[in-house]
Amino acid sequence: MTTVHRPRRRFGRSRPGIGDRYTMMMMLIQRGHGRRIGLATSNDGKRFTPRDSALITPSLDEGTDIAGPFYFRDGEHHYVLYNAASGNIHYTEVGAAFDREEHKGAFYKPGLSYPEYGKASAPFVLRANDKHYLFYDVGIRLQQSIALAVEAKGPSVVIDQSDPGFESGGLWTLSESIEGHFGDDYLHDGSDAANPGAWAKWKPSLPRAGAYRVYVRFPAAPNRPDHIKYKVTHRGIVDEVFVDQTRANGSWVELGRYRFDAGSSEDDRVTLDAASDTGFAVADAVWFAFDE
């Protein structure tokens, strides 16, 4: 007995040999087999006929159940993405006629801490600017939010507050009490007032010269500064960027796109000024993502 459950992602593509104009991916519950991915077609986009009750069955590394299918084409390749019992988002090549099942492994592996907790689901992918953009669900069941992951096309450098390349001055306190930080912990300045003399600096050692997108991360909270100043020094030029640390918890917040030299230099760095705003300022991580 096969039960069709949660139809997903209908799109205007006919399956060769059938002639219907629309195809729909769906999660199926098959007694004794768990959840898998099926396929149905339709000529009007309203009434669908099941065509393949086992288009994709779980592989050993995916666990017993797969769900949330999404079809996408990348050049001459045709894939279906889906979330699996493993917690990862996996992908399988199905071919233009949906007559293949070549499991390709994990497409995306979520982090173990906030906000993903080792589980990502309901994938939606688009390609633009020569990159894949993945939208997906994260969070505790029934309390989920939508996340975005962007394909990295070159070398990246992440500096946490516990890594080489990080320096600080003034009074800072180590903490892990608020979720959303990168790594094991973060620093806060211990004061809800502007804190003269407290600063933090992230100086990367970059593998190559070029343009990089610079992101910062921090555990957000209502008592954080809402207009704190970061200074991005790029080839000796200083740009000031103001960030709201009360929002975007657990996300990478972009400061901008800048050109840096290879190696490590005081002419290429990011600094945080805890005296620039009131609230408990946080120094956590900075990400330099190559973008050229």
State whether 97 and 174 are in the same domain: no
Q: Reduce the DSSP state of residue 62 to 3 states and report it.
A: helix
pTM: 0.83
Give me the pLDDT at residue 172, please.
Answer: 96
Left, alpha or beta for 170 (phi > 0: left; psi -120 to 50: alpha)? left
Is the same domain home to 163 and 231? yes
Of 123, 150, 177, the domain-final residue: 150
Contact between residue 19 and residue 44 where contact means Cβ atoms under 8 Å apart: no
Per-residue model confidence (pLDDT) at position 113:
86
Among candidates 26, 22, 13, 119, which has minimal Cα distance to 69? 26
CATH number at residue 280: 2.60.120.260
Give the pLDDT of residue 141. 77
Q: Are residues 144 and 7 in the same domain?
A: yes
Q: What is the number of domains present in the chain?
A: 2
Distance CA 216, CA 182 (A): 10
Same domain, 266 and 207: yes
| Residue where a domain terminates, one of 130, 150, 170 | 150
CATH number at residue 122: 2.115.10.20
What are the φ/ψ torsions at residue 110 (nearest 5 degrees)? -75, 160
How many angstroms separate the CA atoms of 20 and 55, rounded? 17
Query: Domain range spanning residue 27?
Result: 2-150
134 and 268, same domain (yes or no): no
Q: Indicate whether 207 and 126 sit together in one domain.
A: no
Last residue of a domain, one of 150, 183, 200: 150
Residue 10 has a pLDDT of: 53
115 and 38, same domain (yes or no): yes
How do the pLDDT tens digits run along the chain, 292 residues long? 333 334 345 555 656 556 778 888 899 887 777 899 999 989 888 899 988 878 999 999 999 999 999 999 998 999 999 999 999 999 999 998 899 999 999 999 998 888 898 999 999 999 888 889 999 999 877 888 899 998 888 899 999 999 999 999 999 999 999 999 999 999 999 999 999 999 999 999 999 999 999 999 999 999 999 999 999 999 999 999 999 999 999 899 999 999 999 999 999 999 999 999 999 999 999 999 999 7
pLDDT in the model for residue 94: 95
pLDDT, residue 143, reads 80
| Residue 254 pLDDT | 97
Same-domain status, 122 and 218: no
Whether residues 181 and 242 fall in one domain? yes
In this structure, the answer to whether residues 216 and 239 fall within a common structural domain is yes
Q: How distant, in Å, are the alpha carbons of 142, 210, 291, 292 from that of 259?
A: 42, 5, 10, 10
Same domain, yes or no, for 265 and 195?
yes
What pLDDT was estimated at residue 13? 60
Of the candidates 250, 208, 256, 14, the one whose C-alpha atom is nearest the C-alpha of residue 112 is 250
- Same structural domain, 134 and 193: no
